[in-house]
Amino acid sequence: MKITVVGTGYVGLVTGTCFAETGIDVTCVDIDKKKVQMLLNGEVPIYEPGLDNLLARNLEKGRITFTTSLAKGIQGSDAVFIAVGTPPDEDGSADLKYVLGVAREIGQHMDDYKVIITKSTVPVGTSFKVKKAVQEELDKRKVDIPFDVASNPEFLKEGSAVDDFLKPDRIVVGIENDRAQKTMKRLYKPFLMNGHPLLFMDIFSSEMTKYAANSMLATKISFMNDIANLCELVGANVDLVRKGIGSDARIGNKFIYPGTGYGGSCFPKDVQALIRTADEHGHSLEVLKAVENVNYRQKSKLVEKIKGHLGTNLNGKQFGIWGLSFKPKTDDMREAPSLVIIEQLKAMGAQVRVYDPVAMEEAKHSLGETVVYAKDEYDACIEVDALILVTEWSEFRMPNFRILEKIMNQKLIFDGRNVYDPEEMRELGFQYYSIGRET
């Protein structure tokens, strides 16, 4: 079999490389010449554990290649995955110009049957817009080439994307007929070894599933953040409450960790887009609107604690930030809570030193020269009035507090991820603030 993946961003690159791993012949297409050249040399432009080795192996075996020419890239393909970006419009809805542009180009160049699959996260109904765009181009060419569209949303998480793709919890595919189903079944057969299902459904339901999944996960997080804030007010400990409710299988113990609010390229964008879709249909998604508001508020939670302790004039104060990326194991800075926290601290006159194990370069695009980039986690704490832990990288779990107390101006920690034990902090003589627990 041969497939083409259009777009070598996060989703496209993982998809292409993982399909190649099963022995399928994969061509990835991207308009960015520099990126295509890098990938042909085996250089992965994003930080994603395991992806570089997998790509190198498949390049060596000749199972994957990269090109800037979509016309060439789709020749002989059984399936074309569209995995280009859908950035949010000004009004929060997904901008489909790239997806539909690719669809048109496919229509202009295809010359035999293909399943054209939307892999990017797109609003309900988009696959039919793809179908229309392809058909219009075929009509212009006055050719009658059969094709099918399908929707195949991605559920992979940054930081464990390769594993998620190779061992998925489930694969969701929206199709219109048996021919497309047969192709998709053949493609995904190698990934079903762990017994998890390949779920076929209609295209509308498949597209909706992606938004519903991300929105439900975002809801869990905002719910827990709201409960954590109440825990503080009534004197409860959210960690215990989390364990208490998480043992109920109906609730589950995953994705109920309070923190500094969800970030990344998916949850904020998808929650917004679903609210927008519902509004367009005259239905107001009240729960999701609250989820968004709570998340917005949560990003300032640590700064509020800082203000409560140090006051609102932070002139002459210096802070050390541990963790910049929106979550561990990625260099992705999109919608990272660290950016909001740093901006607010600076607005109050503070100096900021930052350290992240992998996101420092990426962070420079947003933070520029407004902060000091430390060489390691201790360097980030030299002469600071407080340490603020924003992203829970595992290397921050067991720091040497004896070193910290020597280099910090004050023994003060604001922990946005509840990484440390409040009692231990007290014993060590640190003033310690966390989320939803006693101070």
As a whole number of angstroms, the distance between CA 56 and CA 428 comes to 47
- DSSP tag of 400: -
- DSSP tag of 394: G
We find the least distance from the C-beta atom of residue 197 to ligand UGA, in angstroms, to be 16
Question: Which residue in 18, 28, 266, 381 is the catalytic one?
Answer: 266
Residues contacting 309, CB < 8 A, separation 6+: 386, 412, 431, 433
We find the least distance from the C-beta atom of residue 316 to ligand UGA, in angstroms, to be 32
Q: Is 30 annotated as a binding residue?
A: yes
Residues contacting 45, CB < 8 A, separation 6+: 35, 38, 39
Q: Is 227 among the residues that bind ligand UGA (CB under 6 A)? A: no
As a whole number of angstroms, the distance between CA 215 and CA 270 comes to 7
What is the contact mask toward ligand UGA in residues 112 to 151, using x (rule: CB under 6 A)? ---------x------------------------------
Q: Is 266 among the residues that bind ligand UGA (CB under 6 A)? A: yes
Number of residues counted as binding ligand UGA (CB under 6 A): 20
Q: Is 255 annotated as a binding residue?
A: yes
Q: Is 158 annotated as a binding residue?
A: yes
Closest-CA residue to 323 (of 252, 415, 411, 237): 415
Q: Is 168 among the residues that bind ligand UGA (CB under 6 A)? A: no
Residue (220 or 353) nearer to ligand UGA, CB: 220
**Residue 127 Rama label (left phi>0; alpha psi -120 to 50; beta):** alpha
Q: Is 157 annotated as a binding residue?
A: yes
Question: How much is the CA Rg of the chain, to the nearest whole Å?
Answer: 24
What is the contact mask toward ligand UGA in residues 230 to 259, using x (rule: CB under 6 A)? -------------------------xxx-x
Q: Is 326 among the residues that bind ligand UGA (CB under 6 A)? A: yes
Query: What are 405's two structure tokens?
Result: 């107390």
As a whole number of angstroms, the distance between CA 173 and CA 153 comes to 7
Q: Is 369 annotated as a binding residue?
A: no
Interface with ligand UGA (CB under 6 A), residue from 98, 155, 188, 373: 155
Interface with ligand UGA (CB under 6 A), residue from 81, 147, 262, 393: 262
Q: Is 18 a catalytic residue?
A: no
Query: What are 136's two structure tokens?
Result: 């219009």
Interface with ligand UGA (CB under 6 A), residue from 263, 320, 323, 422: 263
Residue (222 or 318) nearer to ligand UGA, CB: 222
Residues contacting 186, CB < 8 A, separation 6+: 1
Residue (35 or 220) nearer to ligand UGA, CB: 220
As a whole number of angstroms, the distance between CA 285 and CA 277 comes to 9
Closest-CA residue to 42 (of 73, 25, 64): 64
Task: List residues forming the annotated binding site for substrate.
Answer: 155-158, 210, 255-259, 263, 327
Task: Give the annotated binding-site residues for NAD(+).
Answer: 30, 35, 86, 121, 158, 269, 334
Residues making contact with ligand UGA (CB under 6 A): 121, 154-158, 214, 217, 221, 255-257, 259, 262-264, 266-267, 326-327
- Catalytically active residues are 266
